[in-house]
Structure 1
Amino acid sequence: MKHTYENALNLVGRLLIVALFLPAGLSKITGFEGTVGYFTSLGMSAPTLGVIVAIIAEVLGGIALLVGFQTRIVSVLLAVFTLAASITGHAFWAAPADAAFIAQLLFFKNIAVMGGLLVLASSGAGKFSIDGLKAKQD
């Protein structure tokens, strides 16, 4: 019973994390030029490449977490990506006073997401996942 409870919570947690990454990546695809413009405004030296990397991380990483594939590795990679995105996109310490509060909120929201990703990296995807199915076969 305990393991079913843990596995169900793990699945729900993965779905909630995916709810952040997958829609963000898909919106970058549909609004590619606008996202490149935003990345340019952040002072990125290669904004188009940055958008492509973000799309790959958010869409492929989101799908991998959704199905629980290579969850430990994907979680660490998404945590590193989220740290880089937080420093680049939510630099509240450099934001104008009228925008600093929102940037700080978004920055620390991302720090919390990183915490969830690292917990997921330590626990794995659980039984309700491709990783869980592979472990059962071994």
Structure 2
Amino acid sequence: MADVFTLIGRILIALLFLAGAAQKTSSPAAVEALLAAHNWPLWLIWPALVFNLGAGIALIAGLWTRPVAFALAVYCAVTSLFHYIPGDGWQMSIFVKNWAIAGGCLVLAAHGAGRFALRPKT
């Protein structure tokens, strides 16, 4: 069952990043506003979109799971900073969720893709 649960976990985590890529495609203004509020260049939305899409696909397929999951954990840690607004409960909820997702990614980085993967050793 461990391999089945690992596959399900990979898919569920990947869906978050695929949804993020879709959101960046369909409504880039929301992400651009977050970037602008922190004085980050707006063009960063496009590499983030490509990273979200590629990493999501890689997790589902079980390709390069350990390095991809580690990179996603770092990505979650960095993007959590956009939501660190202590006076706003909703934003703090997103902040904490980002760290929880980072934790799940670190577990994948430590344990790999499991048996049901195109590259199960990664």
With the length of structure 1 as denominator, give the TM-score of the two structures. 0.81
TM-fit CA distance, 1:40: 4.4
* Match status 1:125 vs 2:120: no
Partner residue, 1:43: 38
Q: Percent identity, aligned pairs only?
A: 31
Tell me which protein shows more helix as a share of its residues: 1
For residues 51 and 42 of structure 2, the distance between their equivalents in structure 1, rounded to whole angstroms, comes to 15
Partner residue, 1:90: 83
For residues 8 and 58 of structure 2, the distance between their equivalents in structure 1, rounded to whole angstroms, comes to 14
Alignment RMSD, CA only? 1.5
With the length of structure 2 as denominator, give the TM-score of the two structures. 0.90
Structure 2 segments unaligned to the other structure (5+ residues): none
TM-fit CA distance, 1:60: 0.6
Contact 1:39 1:51 survives alignment (8 Å)? no
Structure 1 segments unaligned to the other structure (5+ residues): none
Contact 1:79 1:118 survives alignment (8 Å)? yes
Contact 1:7 1:128 survives alignment (8 Å)? yes
Q: Deviations over 1:63-114 (max 9, x none)?
A: 1101010000000001111111111x20224xxx3xx111111100111100
Higher relative contact order (CA 8 A, sep 6+): 2
TM-fit CA distance, 1:24: 1.0
* Match status 1:115 vs 2:103: yes
Q: Deviations over 1:8-63 (max 9, x none)?
A: 0000001110121101112212223x245423442333112x20121022111111
For residues 43 and 116 of structure 1, the distance between their equivalents in structure 2, rounded to whole angstroms, comes to 26
For residues 28 and 67 of structure 1, the distance between their equivalents in structure 2, rounded to whole angstroms, comes to 22
For residues 26 and 92 of structure 2, the distance between their equivalents in structure 1, rounded to whole angstroms, comes to 27
Q: How many pairs does the alignment contain? A: 121
Q: Which runs of 4+ in 1 moved over 3 A?
A: none
| Residues 46 and 69 of structure 1: CA distance in aligned 2, closer, same or farther (over 3 Å) | same
The structure with the largest alpha-carbon Rg is: 1
